[in-house]
Amino acid sequence: MVVVFGPIFKGIGLAASPRGRKVITTAIVIARSEQGRKALAQARLLAASPEGRRLIAQATSTAARAGKAAGSPESRDRLKEAARLFRERKR
C-alpha cells in the first residue's frame, strides 16, 4: 500500500512549497512544447519496448543489490573511508 501512495504524498509535498510549484509549472510548460512532446513520445516508445523493459529490470535489480550491500557494517565503513579520501583529494 505504501508503494502506491508514496509518490502521491511526495507530489503533494512538492506542490506545497513555492519552489516545488515553480518546478511543476516549468515541467508542464516544457511538456506542452513541441520538443517536450517529442521527448515524451520517445520515452513512451522506449518504455514499451522489450529493450527498455530489460534495462529497467536490470537497473532495478542492481539498485536492490547495492542497497543490500550498503546496509552491512563493513560496507558502511568502506563508504565512509572512500568519502573521507575523496574530500581530502579535493583540497
Q: Which residue has the higher pLDDT, 49 or 4?
A: 49
Residue type, 32: R
Please count the structural domains in the chain.
1
Mean pLDDT of the chain: 81
pLDDT at 90 over 80: no
Find the domain containing 38 and state its range: 2-90
Query: Could you read off the pLDDT of 56-77 as tens digits, one per residue?
Result: 888 888 878 777 776 777 777 8
Residues 6+ apart with CB under 8 A from 20: 13, 14
Distance from C-alpha of 72 to C-alpha of 77, rounded to nearest angstrom: 9
Q: What is the pLDDT of residue 4?
A: 66
Q: What is the pLDDT of residue 61?
A: 85
34 is written with which cell numbers?
513541441
